[in-house]
Amino acid sequence: MYVERIPNRNSPPAILLRESYREGGKIKKRTLANLSDWPAGKIEALRRVLRGEAVAPTDQQALMLVRSLPHGHAASVLGTLRRLGLDGMLSQGGRQPAREVALCLAMIAARVIDPASKLATARVLDGETASCSLGAVLELGAVDEQALYEALDWLIGQQERVETELARRHLKSGTLVLYDVTSTYFGAPGQAWRIQRVKFPPRQGAKPPHRESSLGLMEVTT
């Protein structure tokens, strides 16, 4: 089979799909289909197939990998954080470093979406390993766990300012505040202790080398 172009004097040329066959020692041809109404690109693709040529580019540089990341849950959580004004509170009207603010927002949102370790969270946010659109929406680019820890170090320095702003917004005369606290150990005995960044005073009666973290939860009723 082959594609043949038949000129017409006063009309556009006819594009026909034909095949050759032998009859009585003579080679004849017959029309199988009229392709005149096909787009030029489609006709050329068929012509390539019939010739045994590649239809798509075989050069790897000519191909582009495209993927679509889940977005709805990330957009919902980020939208809620922004409606609460958390982004503006952290950025202090743009006076704070945008990278650290974006990373902190990403960690808060990721904690709501899928709580995980900082290593796992970094993989969720990094552009190469992302499992949702959170990192792309916040334009984080490359993210590793060290960057997340450095953003947390920055956030510790903002604690008093953020707490003051939260109190100004939510605590008024007569507001009932519910507060609870619990503790948990970090690390393991002997040489297995490797968490150097977490340094908490040991609980009274605790056996070293265990370290302890105190976790507080406050709820405001309005």
Distance in angstroms (rounded) separating the CA atoms of residues 118 and 111:
10
pLDDT in tens, 169-184: 888 777 787 878 887 7
Q: pTM here?
A: 0.57
Give φ, ψ of 219 to 5 degrees. -125, 135
pLDDT in tens, 181-190: 887 766 555 4
Place of tokens 């820890």: 149
pLDDT at 196: 47
- 100 by Cβ neighbours in 10 Å (0-12 / 13-18 / 19+) ranks as buried
3-class secondary-structure state, position 57: coil
Ramachandran sector of residue 51 (left: φ over 0; alpha: ψ -120 to 50; beta: rest): alpha
Handedness of CA 12, 13, 14, 16 (dihedral sign): negative
